[in-house]
Amino acid sequence: MSDALPYVFSAAGTYVQGAGVLDVVGPHLARLGKRALGVVDPVVRAQVEPAIQAGCASEGIAWRSEAFPGECTETLVDGLVASVRSWGPELVVAAGGGKALDTGKLVAEALGIRSAMIPTIASTDAPTSRVAVLYNEEHAQVRVARLRANPDLVVVDTAVIVRAPVRFLVAGMGDAIATWPEARTCAAKPGRTPAGGRPSRAALALAELCYRTVLTHGRQARQDAAAGRVSAAFEAIVEANTLLSGLGFESGGLAAAHSLYAGLSVLPAGAGYLHGEKVAFGVMVQAALEAWPAADRKELGDFYGDVGLPSRLSHLGLGAATE
């Protein structure tokens, strides 16, 4: 038997995207269970919970919502699991940003039940993956949990996403743009991906599509988001940030860009910057380490300047950093 890593491709069960899809979420949830536990970010509760509750009611699904205070910690997850176990939930519905979604994934994992993710921002590729990041109360990353399964359902309502601050969409582009450079590097080794194998051709193709989609549509999508307009470019970038990036990183692999993010996340000066902003800077560093062609580095730098992604340490509050 060969010692080479197998090709492993991992994906969420069903992905639904479009303006207004939250209004028809009921039938999708009904396929997963009849007792739904909600983990909903309080910042967006008023925007999304009424539609989720209505969808559950229309399908005869019992609904129970638990408070999410804002940080995904071991203590919070353990407390939620202990609080709801006797109620007997059959699925977890997590709504909000990446930390709310990761909390929902971890609760579902601990209870051995199914999960549905409803992102309200397009700033990371967390919704589709079986990876969850845990933090401490000081907001520093503690560990990355590898779960048994990807979410069963991801529902991305672009009419909700477009209401979020534009900075989140741009940060999502920064995270997404790392997908192809990192997968390409991982495939060349080959390295082990978060899915547990080596990059498949499908993962590499999706990763490259992700990169090209961001560079092609990112500028227009940013303009449309600022105007509150759900356009074809906006839909393309939401799909790239969420689906293509999620599939690409998990089954394509990670490299220097995300390694640098992990280091930046523990620096106090970096606390005010988003995941994708720090990853975007990591791509610039990876491009230098790998000696990308000058034209490719210029294309990336020009794009960063146009959409507002950081290309220097000073853009992340670290202008005075030394060795």
Task: Give the mean model confidence (pLDDT) for residues 168-191.
Answer: 95
Residue whose token pair is 């995941």 = 275
**Distance (Å, whole) CA 195 – CA 314:** 34
* pLDDT at 321 (0 to 100): 62
Q: Determine the Cα–Cα distance for residues 245 and 159; give it in Å rounded to an integer.
A: 20
Q: How many angstroms from the chain centroid is the CA of residue 182?
A: 16
Segment 187-213 shows an average pLDDT of 95
Kindly state the average pLDDT of the residues 138-147.
85
Q: What percent of the chain has pLDDT over 90?
A: 84
Q: What are phi and psi of 274, to 5 degrees?
A: -80, 160
CATH entry, 14-161, from 2.60.40.10, 3.30.465.10, 3.40.50.300, 3.40.50.1970: 3.40.50.1970
Domains 14-161 and 166-315 share a fold: no
pLDDT score, position 7: 95
- Average pLDDT of the residues in 286-309: 97
CATH architecture of the domain with residue range 166-315: Up-down Bundle (1.20)
Identify which of 141, 114, 146 has the alpha carbon closest to the alpha carbon of residue 129: 146
The secondary structure of 9-78 as a DSSP string is: ----SEEEEETTGGGG-HHHHHTT-SEEEEEE-TTTHHHHHHHHHHHHHHTT-EEEEEE--S---HHHHH
| Residue 80 φ then ψ, to 5° | -65, -45
- Given a cut of 90, whether residue 59 has pLDDT beyond it is yes
Cα distance between residue 25 and residue 207, in whole Å: 28
- The pLDDT score that the predictor gives to residue 323 is 55
| Nearest-angstrom CA–CA distance, 125 and 244 | 8
Q: Which of 243, 293, 213, 291 is nearest to 14 (CA)?
A: 243
pTM: 0.94
Mean pLDDT of 314-323: 73
C-alpha–C-alpha distance, residues 183 and 211, integer Å: 11
What are the extents of the domains in the chain? 14-161, 166-315
Task: State the pLDDT at residue 172.
Answer: 97
pLDDT bracket for residue 1 (50, 70, 90): very low
Q: Rounded mean pLDDT of 284-312?
A: 96
pLDDT in tens, 88-112: 999 999 999 999 999 999 999 999 9
Report pLDDT digits (tens) over 235-270: 999 999 999 999 999 999 999 989 888 778 777 777
Measure the N-to-C terminal CA separation of the chain; round to a whole number of Å.
Answer: 46
**Which amino acid makes up residue 283?**
V
Whether residue 45 has pLDDT greater than 90: yes
Confidence of residue 3 (pLDDT cuts 50, 70, 90): low
Residue 56 has what pLDDT? 98
High-pLDDT (> 70) share of the chain, %: 98
Beta bridge partners of 207: none
Task: Give me the mean pLDDT over the 296-319 stretch.
Answer: 92
How high does pLDDT run on average in the chain? 94
Q: What distance lies between CA 138 and its chain's CA centroid?
A: 21
Using CB atoms within 10 Å of the CB of residue 272, give its burial: 0 to 12 exposed, 13 to 18 middle, 19+ buried. exposed
The 10 Å Cβ neighbour count of residue 47 is 19
Contacts of 255 (CB under 8 A, 6+ apart): 181, 182, 185, 186, 191, 286
